[in-house]
Every structure is written in C-alpha cells, then in structure tokens.
Amino acid sequence: MYQKTILDHGLRVVTHDMSERESVALGFWVGVGGRYEVDRIKGAAHFLEHMAFKGSAKYSCEKVKMLIEGVGGSVNAFTSEEQTCFYAKFPARHVEKIFDVLSDIVFHPSIHSKDVRKESTVIVEEIKMYHDLPQYYVHELLDELMWPNHPLGKGLAGTPQTVSAMTSQDLKVFHKEHYHSGNIVIAAAGKVSHSQIRGLVDKKFHKIPGGLRSEFLKADNSQKKPKIKIFRKTTEQMHLAIGVLGLESEHKDKYALNLLNIILGGNMSSRLFDEVREKRGLAYSIGSSVKYLKDTGMLMVRAGVDNTKLVNAVDVVIKELAKIKRNGVKIDELQRAKDFYLGQVLLALEDTMDHMLWIGESTLTRDKMRSMAEIIKLVKGVMIEDIKRVAQMVLNEHRYNFAVVGPVDAQQEKQLNRLLGI
C-alpha cells in the first residue's frame, strides 16, 4: 500500500510498507538536473551531488560513509536531466540514524572552497573517462543532435572548462535555488511505516524554507530534417546510435511506445537483435530504449558493429524501422511484449530499492503513483492498432538523428548520408 503526505511547506513524503522485508531503501529526490542549468554553470547539479558526500554541517565525509556502511548499508546518488537522488539501503533497525545522515548531506552540505577545487579535478577526469569510452560518448553526441543549443543537448556533467571554473559560491547559490521543501520528495520502501518516516520528517524539517518547483527551458520538438554527427576515432568497433524524438513522460501513448520498443529492440527476442545479430552477424550488441522527459522524449537504437559492417548494419536498422512502421506487429509479438514488460515490473518491485526508486520518481515527476493493477490494465489495453499508430507517429524518417564514434572513412560517410536521405 502506498501512502503519501504533502506537508504545509510543500515537501512530499511517500512510502510503501514492505513489512516482510528486512531492509529499508530511503531516497531524497530533488527536482533539479542538467536541464535546469545555464551554460556558465553547466554541470552544477552533478557537481553538487558530488559535494554532498564531502561532508555536511553535522557529519564529515568519513563519518557519512562509516555510519551507513558500518551497519551493512550502501549509499549513493545520481543526477539525470530532471532530477537528483540521494539514496541508501540498510537494515531496517537503523532507519532513524540513516535518515539523519541523508537529510543533513542533502539540506546542509558544507561546500568548502578547498573541497570544490579538489572535486573539480575528479569530475574533469570523470568527463574525460566517458569521452574515452565510445559506447558512452556516442550518446552524448546523439543528445547534441536531438536537442541542439539546449541544456538537454549538452553534457550532464558539464565540460572541463565549466567544471574547473565552478566556485563554492556558484554551488551554494544553486543549492539555495533548488534544494527547498517545494522541490523535494522523500521516498521510503521496506520494513518501515509511513508514520515512522513522517515523524522523522516532522522532527528534522519543520523549519526548512519553502519555495516553488524549479522551472526549465522547454525543448524544441520541431525537427524537420535528418541529421548526422561523426566523431572519428581509432577504435576496434564502430559505436552508433540512432535517435528519433519520442513522447513526453505523461503522454497517453506511453505504454504503447514501451511495448513497441520491446518488440523492436528491447530484449534478445526483439526484431533488431534477431535480424542484425542472429541472422546477419552484423553486431555484437544491438538494442533499443526509450527516454521520457516532461516535454519531450527519445526512442533510440544503439549498436556496436564491426568497422567494415557499419553501412550494412545501419541499412538493416533503417529497413526494420520502416517495416514496423508500415506493417505494424503481430498479435503474438504484442502478447510476448506485454508479458515481458509486466514480468520485468513485477520482478523489480520485489526489491525495496527498486520500489523506492519507482515511487520516488513517480511522485517527483508526476505527483502520483500507479498501482500494479492500473499498470496491468493500461498495458493489457494496448491494441495492435495502437502500436502501428504510435510507430507511424514516432518513426518519422525526417526526424532521424545518427551519431557514430569510430574510424569512419569518406566512402562510409557518403553512404550513410544517402541512407539517411541527407
């Protein structure tokens, strides 16, 4: 059973009592991420995530890790385009202690200048690491194509220049602007009651400042022509990503697109895996995925292919996209996709951490949670006609974006441009 409380100053608390478990997963969700930054401080949300673990008003860096890991727990955080989450999983009897630690590093990080200077070099090395990994860097190139001159199209961690120039004052201002009660959700799942978490919230946060939820620059979804971006690099394998503008997170056809994605490239039974890898041997890894944001989204196909097979692989992928758009899917394919999707959701929700991530993100982004019964109903209600309609809506060849990292030669580039109609 899910329980939710909105306090007078706007902070939202959501819990799921899983009393048969022995653990608790606790998350502090902040409604800010990479798309909320201006160019001068690109990477600030991610930088601030790092700084929270450098110590707070009450706990030193060493104490934070010792108090959580010392009881068998784990602690971490992540930053995405629209949110930052600080989370821990631990034995249930330590909930009060861990709550106190997380709340302090989230609301009262120290952000000392010497720590900022030191951590900036760490983050710059992190950026360099991902740029050296073509399977990751190709995603960044694709984002640049999808959302040019927009925060969504710029690296989540920032650039070496913006990170190196970031000051403690920049981060303190960013924290004050976004880390307030109206922009935060506290989520917990496991052997814990709603009243227990609510009591801890009342004890710790009765004096925290309120505020409005953060605003962002809206995405431009008006692409009319296909685009290509090539980063030439000596690699043993070509890494490619093909993206097309998808649906926003609250679109009525979200579940139809989820199922289309599974049929297309979401697992080892998918069309792309079967056609590109199993039948033709053109790639070792091949698959598709979907991303949902508040006002835009993306369907992406990604693959790692032999350097000499790049054009053939892209040709097959484009033909498969056209085929599913033209002919739709078969009834047995759709049923398998539904079973796979619901099975994956059910398996994930057995774990306290996955459950916390689900209810926390749902509350932060949509202010509501769907029960498993509602999800089953929505998924089962998707018809063959819905899949074809969504495929025709999303798989628009004039909105294809193609990114590749590898030793692409002039002839391959020419052939790719022809395939994409550029």
Residues forming the active site:
49
Q: Residue 229: helix, strand or coil by DSSP?
A: strand
Which ranges of 213-330 does DSSP label H, i.e. alpha helix?
Answer: 254-261, 271-272, 310-327
Q: What is the largest CA-CA distance in the chain?
A: 67
- Tell me which amino acid residue 257 is: L
Angle, helix 384-394 to helix 331-348, in steps of 10 degrees: 90
For tokens 């799921």, the residue is: 16
What CA–CA distance (Å, rounded) separates 7 from 221? 36
Q: Residue 148: helix, strand or coil by DSSP?
A: coil
Q: Are strands 12-17 and 184-190 parallel, antiparallel or unpaired?
A: parallel
Question: How many other C-beta atoms are found inside a 10 Å radius of the C-beta of residue 316?
Answer: 20
Contact 401, 296 (CB under 8 A): no
Contact 298, 243 (CB under 8 A): yes
Angle, helix 113-132 to helix 44-52, in steps of 10 degrees: 120
- Tell me which amino acid residue 85 is: C
Tokens matching residue 117: 């200077």
What CA–CA distance (Å, rounded) separates 305 from 409? 15
What CA–CA distance (Å, rounded) separates 375 from 395? 25
Tokens matching residue 334: 């759709």
Q: Which residue, among 25, 5, 207, has the nearest Cα to 98 in the 3D structure? A: 25
Buried b (16+ CB within 10 A) or exposed e, 123-135: bbeebeebbeebb
